[in-house]
Amino acid sequence: MPRTPKAPQPTFTEPDPAALQQPTAGPQSARPGPRRGRKPQWTKLKPTIAHLYEDINDRLTDVIEATGMGLQETFEEAINTYCDALRPPIPAEMPEDADLKLPRDPNQPPPGTPADRPTAPPAVVRLQPNTRARLVAACNQEKMGGKAVINDAIEAYLDELDMD
């Protein structure tokens, strides 16, 4: 059986210079349909940094695992319970224009002073604006910083739950 000759392969030729130019981008089309109609709900929450003492942090972790509550829910409940227990109690509903800036501890020891209780790494919890306003009001009423009031509130709440 005789062999059939292969078809000749095309040889390389220089491409047309006009074909090498990149096409210019045309106008971008608008996105179809409207974007999200409302803001997500979590943006109303106020991030709060909590510097808990290690012993309180360990107890809190155990309680969260035992009860199935979330960190935000536990903080909300603890702060609101604490504010209700103060004398005079902090109002349950704070005004819309209430201060949300947590004060620093006015009796803070000078830098370099050894800590009396070790603290766990800071945690960020997002609080409802009303709860955050109640926390600030409690700090001002008790003349303590945010760290002290948060630790006191969490510790009192854990004591109330009586879970060790």
Global model pTM greater than 0.85: no
Residue 94's Cβ-count burial label (10 Å; 0-12, 13-18, 19+) is buried
What integer pLDDT is reported at residue 111 of this predicted model?
Answer: 83
Taking all residues of the chain, what is their mean pLDDT, rounded to a whole number? 85
pLDDT, tens digit (0-9, with 9 covering 90-100), for 68-94: 999 999 999 999 999 999 999 999 999
Contact indicator for 120, 54 with CB cutoff of 8 Å: yes
The average pLDDT across 101-123 equals 87
Residue 138, in any domain of the structure: yes
Contact indicator for 139, 104 with CB cutoff of 8 Å: no
Residue 4, in any domain of the structure: no
> Count of domains in the chain?
1
C-alpha span between 44 and 37 (Å, rounded): 16
Residue 29, in any domain of the structure: no
Q: Give me the domain span that covers residue 144.
A: 43-105+122-161
pLDDT, tens digit (0-9, with 9 covering 90-100), for 2-56: 677 676 666 666 666 666 666 666 666 666 655 666 666 667 899 999 999 999 9
Render the burial of 41-77: b for 16+ CB within 10 Å, e for the rest: eeeeebebebbbbeebbebbeebeeeeeeeebebbbb
Residue 86, in any domain of the structure: yes
Residue 151, in any domain of the structure: yes
